Amino acid sequence: MAAGAGGPTDPPAEVLREAATIFGLLASEQRLHIVWALSQGESDVSGLAERVGGALPAVSQHLTKLKLAGLVGSRREGRRQIYYVDDADVVAVMRMMIGQLAVRSGEIGTATGRTGTSPY
Residue-wise pLDDT tens for the chain (120 aa)? 555 567 889 999 999 999 999 999 999 999 999 999 999 999 999 999 999 999 999 999 999 999 999 999 999 999 999 999 999 999 999 999 998 998 998 865 444 444 445 555
Which pLDDT score is estimated for 6?
72
* Nearest 10 degrees: Cα torsion 98, 100, 105, 108: 90
> Sign of the CA dihedral 30, 35, 37, 42?
positive
Q: Global pTM?
A: 0.78
Which pLDDT score is estimated for 112?
40
Contacts of 43-52 with C-beta under 8 Å, sequence gap 24+, read 43/82, 43/83, 44/80, 44/81, 44/82, 44/83, 45/81, 45/83, 48/83
Rounded distance between C-alpha atoms, residue 62 and residue 56, angstroms = 10
Rounded distance between C-alpha atoms, residue 39 and residue 33, angstroms = 10
Which pLDDT score is estimated for 110?
46
CA distances from 94 to 39, 101, 113 (A): 10, 11, 23
